[in-house]
Structure 1
């Protein structure tokens, strides 16, 4: 008598039964990820919901004593659990914002739920309606962690931009991942996209925000969520930034999410019919979210457009080399930028070691994203 090998339907059954650790292990084996067999539910201790975005390489700048090999991030096992917050207790306010008094915690709620968010107000020296940048953290991160690692508040202050950092809650996802892979959080006026858009509307009601210059960016699961929100609200967001993330529509459940992260999903079909200005960063040695996903974000954002492409090669002094592909429209406007960072893993390029998931050796993704964002604005609405 032969035994039928398990398939994705068995993984789905285990997921629905709440046996998440067993489901995740089975999915990894089906995808070819080398993991040891899991003990049965009866003999295993209770485990948290699997993390869909958690492996970080924190890379310190090289010192004279370090050779070339030592400056590379250590390869991490895909989907392995590792704490990412440095054991340095609470971060000093000085690493979060140029003026900590202008960085505060806020709360927003609607029918889909309640979320806190951190909010940075630029220097009062900047007058008139100002841009707003929404930043979505990755799994296990916090708003403060993401602010410290990206240093977006410092870059934004130079240009008079407001910055909002919505924060996921453990009750929505135990590992604080944005639920980009669930169908209930993939469309306009539903789930987490509606909360994030609602935070924007709330901020606009309280501050002098330029409605034509609102942008959204994120890292990994946050990047995937940012792509969903930007495609769901093209009338709100003027441009999108995705770092080490996935395209909108890459997954519909846990099995397809893990397959997409491994780069083992069907060719991506863009959902929207109009282009979305987007800047994409992805390390070509990312073992957590396959680099193919960066290409899918570009394909999705550029759908429906006609472009002339150019490629630039560069290197950060004493750091990483990179390739930057620019897609320009008929007017010469840069509509898509695709940055591939050579040798980089799953980490925010050019970030600060004050936060997690950062690679100081790469080009400054924060400054480049903000530069790209400010080149774009929504068309003026007809009276």
Structure 2
């Protein structure tokens, strides 16, 4: 073999080796990329300030604690749950949770723990498929989120529920965290814009009315962990705040429900009375409606004499149902300022609210939720009560 032939063999061999090497590199790169795509993670800071690494846009999750599944439903990502807490499967004579009414399939899911965040790690670990993320609302009640993560090995994201009044930033932050994890960032911003614009509309319609021209109002029978009587009120009742109403029980320092004295109510003597219909669950003398109908002192109230007593949707049901808050606000607005809400059809507005929040844009679902919510109690909501 001459030198020329040896050179040719060397060149060919070199080319084969090089080709194999580069092909191997490309295959390795491709495989690495595929693994990365299948195992992408993101890091989020939860409401407790914890840094939590989770799969990006997970396919399987669970929601623990009051309101967690509601927010996932608002984000239109509730089809990715693999189990529910006990409140979703319990049969109840009364229910005022629009997100659950819109999704009766929740009743068919496996149960991973008791309601209000009392999770069962063993039940969670037995789920198939396994959740990749646990969203946990109201982390100070029920199972501790840090301990739950240790027990299950599943990332737990703690969230603050917030509200639409003094803690709206917490509410929006939780929606954004959940949206980022679920790949629903755009939907989170749509929700935030919806809440802001709706509250702004209510406020703008009622702005500028002199205090002396406003009629006074009071809401009784406000629920808190169950039904209560007429003396249970909310000093910063959101439907009154959003409509700049003259709430006789207003107290800017009291942001929760409160039990006021009968003497105070009689002294205030409001022009219009609203009753949270959750009180009718009692079906006895502890019901606000029964008290208004039978208590001699309350019979002296101006609103009772004139018949200006109206039923409103309860919204404190497994924590705050924001859609019902807004619907109640438009109802209050139409009664307190009829000329400023003349263009608002309350039924259509309420259906629109429920359609956007829990109906995935399907107006028929929004209408079904509206019908069930209006007629969820012995007397229909948004009507004058027989006192």
With structure 2 as the length reference, what TM-score do the two structures score? Answer: 0.28
For the pair shown, the structure with the greater C-alpha radius of gyration is: 2
Kindly indicate which of the two structures has a greater share of residues assigned to strand.
Answer: 1
Q: Which has the higher contact order (CA 8 A, sep 6+)?
A: 1
Kindly indicate which of the two structures has a greater share of residues assigned to helix.
Answer: 2
